[in-house]
Amino acid sequence: MSESMITYRGVVYPWQCDHMGHMNVMWYVGKFDEATWQLLAAIGATPSRLRDEGFGLVAVEQHIHYKRELRSGDVLTIRSSVLEANEKSVRFTHEMTNDQTGELAATTLLVGVCIDTVARKARALPRDIFQRITSLV
């Protein structure tokens, strides 16, 4: 597994909490998604490059484990790691921690597949991105 990198820092807002008083699951997914964009940019898959070169990375699998509640006002950090890559896909993880307590709040494991955005079919990752990913693993 690669060394983790910080890909998100944020806070839980009151409007992100549900009737139980903790951050609703939809916001965990949203914050993990923001971390994914930072991770993609770090490996060279920036939004402008995706647009300009006509490829994208789409999530085909995601597993989330909720470990500890996060409540309004909690400050959090997400650290991300690339686990493995092959010609057309990458598998990575995010770990969300409560900055005050240091406790792990949630983890997610994702698999992304590189696609041609016009043909809407899987394609090989650009060579430099694949090389950057494999250097992280």
pLDDT digits (tens, 9 = 90+) for 81-134: 999 999 999 999 999 999 999 999 999 999 999 999 999 999 999 999 999 998
pLDDT the model gives residue 2:
66
35 pLDDT exceeds 90? yes
Question: Cβ(106)–Cβ(96) under 8 Å?
Answer: yes
| DSSP secondary structure letter of residue 125 | P
pLDDT the model gives residue 135:
85
The residues spanned by each domain of the chain are: 5-136
Q: Please report how many Cα atoms fall inside a 13 Å half-sphere around the Cα of residue 111, on the Cβ side.
A: 7
**pTM greater than 0.75 (yes/no):** yes
User: In this structure, what token pair is assigned to residue 115?
Assistant: 């696609």
Mean model confidence pLDDT for the chain: 96
Question: Cβ(2)–Cβ(57) under 8 Å?
Answer: no
Question: Cβ(57)–Cβ(90) under 8 Å?
Answer: yes
Question: pLDDT over 90 for what percent of the chain?
Answer: 94
The correct CATH number of 5-136 out of 3.30.160.100, 3.10.129.10, 3.60.15.10, 1.10.150.130 is 3.10.129.10
pLDDT the model gives residue 50:
97
- Mean pLDDT on 28-42: 97
